[in-house]
Amino acid sequence: MGRGRKFTKIYTKEECREIAADCKTMTEFRNKSYPAYYQTKLNNWFEEVCPHIKIWIKKPPGSWTKELAKEKAEKYVTRGDFYKNDCEAYAAAYRNGWLDEICSHMIDAGNKSNRLIYAFEFSDNSVYVGLTYNINIRKSQHLSTEASPVFKHINKTNLWPKTVLHTDYIEVEKAVLKEEEVLNKYKNSGWTTLNKIKTGSLGFGYNKNKKKSNKTKSPEERKKAAGKAKKQIARKNINNLKAFHATKEMYIQNISFWKMADFLNDNGYVTRNENKFIASGVSKLYAHVFNYKEILSKRIKKQKAEKLEAARIKKQKAERLKASMGFAPTIDWEVKENCHKEALKYQTKYIFGRKSSQAYKSACKNGWMAEICSHMKNQRKPKGFWKIKENCHETALDFTSIKEFKKAWPHAYRISCEKKWIKEITSHMKKWARQKK
């Protein structure tokens, strides 16, 4: 909002008080009616218009004393509540080293990594044992949730439980073992346990079997761990399949479902179902019933042959069409003799590749280059060959223009330019510089 903004209505003090009455914070008051908030701020009516809203004013450094911080800390039961509601006092206490002293009356609260063991004991010798990261929240849940076994027992017997804390907040792994130990002690002492779920449950959102980071492990240890994981997955899949296909006859009845032909698409490529089939271990389990590799290779070979035949027929039709229209027949570069005839026209492999790219590619693909290019000059020169002026001059004599020389031997051309031989060795060629008019 710009300074000096004009509003359609100017609010009085009473109207501003009515608008601010329902607001709990200054932000809410400002969002509800900015003209009223602006008028209140302009005339400094905050104390009269909204006395119920706390105005947070940051204290200057050094204004927090130990006594003031302690007064604030005495209002709260845990350090978390103290930090959330009075962060400035908490920060001052932490900064000056008073935090442990002013928070000595507070209860230690747990977290996902630290839990305590508790028990609800009833006078009829019934007990419920559990672990939690916040005993106050957990106690209120047990006493107010209808699904809780503690709540059900209270309604059934009209007895009120006694809360017993068996440990402080300890590590999760130790807490899980301690919970089972405490429960077994109660059972051995003749108590009736109300626990329906097995001990060790840590609640939603906590993965007890969560893998530790591999950052500290060496590459060899990571490989071993990955190999073990793969073996475990394969073993599970095989066990599941053994249970499903209990007998050989049962598998043979479902053989049409597992045929590899059903796992291939029309082009002969493997589909997701086939990958799933092979990964599941069925092929290894029932290799004596159904050889999937043999069927897969036959199917792919057959489809490749069909593709080649279709391409050949298509090519023949195109040749006939060109001949009927008067075009020259296309040369088949898959024939070695045709590539050899074409290669004899050129002196170097570089020019051969430039002038007849299709024949060059076909010769490279089929491995004919050494044989059909035996007449050509070896373009690879020994190290330092072009630094000798006579070598550059002899090579330049084979060309009639500088452009051809540059394309055929770019390295020789570059060094000749650097050494300033270019004019001398190309004097028999066409003029390479434009003449001034």
Q: Which two tokens stand for residue 386?
A: 């072009």
Regarding whether 253 and 186 lie in a shared domain, the answer is no
Regarding whether 268 and 229 lie in a shared domain, the answer is yes
CA 20 – CA 29 distance, rounded (Å): 6
Q: For residue range 307-347, list pLDDT tens digits in order.
A: 889 888 888 888 788 777 777 667 778 888 888 888 888 88
- Decide: 411 and 386 in contact? Cβ < 8 Å: yes
Q: Would you say residue 403 lies in a domain?
A: yes
Q: What is the pTM of this model?
A: 0.33
Q: Radius of gyration (Cα) for the chain, nearest Å?
A: 45
Whether the per-residue pLDDT at 257 is higher than 60: the answer is no
Q: Would you say residue 121 lies in a domain?
A: yes
H-type alpha helices, 97-171: 99-102, 135-144, 149-157
What pLDDT shows up at residue 200?
Answer: 67
What pLDDT shows up at residue 341?
Answer: 87
Regarding whether 91 and 45 lie in a shared domain, the answer is no
CATH of the domain at 180: 3.40.1440
Q: Which two tokens stand for residue 226?
A: 């990955």
Least confident of 232-236, 240-244, 398-402: 240-244
Q: Would you say residue 158 lies in a domain?
A: yes
Q: Which two tokens stand for residue 237?
A: 């899949």
CA 384 – CA 313 distance, rounded (Å): 54
Q: Residue 223's pLDDT band (boundaries 50, 70, 90)?
A: confident
| DSSP-derived 3-state class of residue 60 | coil
Q: Would you say residue 21 lies in a domain?
A: yes
Regarding whether 185 and 256 lie in a shared domain, the answer is no
What pLDDT shows up at residue 384?
Answer: 83
Q: Would you say residue 15 lies in a domain?
A: yes
What pLDDT shows up at residue 57?
Answer: 57
CA 102 – CA 90 distance, rounded (Å): 10
Q: Would you say residue 207 lies in a domain?
A: no
| Amino acid code (one letter) for 235 | R
Among residues 247, 282, 300, the one where a domain terminates is 300
Q: For residue range 148-179, list pLDDT tens digits in order.
A: 888 888 888 888 888 888 888 888 888 888 88
Higher pLDDT among residues 121 and 260, named by residue: 121
Domain span including residue 4: 1-57
For the residues 47-57, what does the mean pLDDT come to? Answer: 76
Which range has the top average pLDDT, 3-12, 236-245, 373-382? 373-382
Q: Which two tokens stand for residue 60?
A: 């200057």
Whether the per-residue pLDDT at 285 is higher than 60: the answer is no
Q: Would you say residue 70 lies in a domain?
A: yes
Regarding whether 295 and 229 lie in a shared domain, the answer is yes
Regarding whether 90 and 122 lie in a shared domain, the answer is no
What pLDDT shows up at residue 282?
Answer: 47
Q: Residue 286's pLDDT band (boundaries 50, 70, 90)?
A: very low
What pLDDT shows up at residue 247?
Answer: 42
CA 118 – CA 135 distance, rounded (Å): 8
Q: Residue 292's pLDDT band (boundaries 50, 70, 90)?
A: low
Domain count, the chain: 6
What pLDDT shows up at residue 128?
Answer: 92
Q: Would you say residue 330 lies in a domain?
A: no
Which residues pair with residue 111 across a beta bridge?
114
Regarding whether 187 and 120 lie in a shared domain, the answer is yes
CA 157 – CA 160 distance, rounded (Å): 9
Higher pLDDT among residues 396 and 214, named by residue: 396
Mean pLDDT of the chain: 76
For the residues 68-96, what does the mean pLDDT come to? Answer: 85
CA 408 – CA 397 distance, rounded (Å): 13
Contacts 24+ apart (CB under 8 A), 418-424: 419/387, 419/389, 421/389, 421/392, 421/393, 424/393
Higher pLDDT among residues 28 and 60, named by residue: 28
For the residues 7-13, what does the mean pLDDT come to? Answer: 81
Whether the per-residue pLDDT at 423 is higher than 70: the answer is yes
Helix axes 87-96, 66-73, angle to 10 degrees: 130
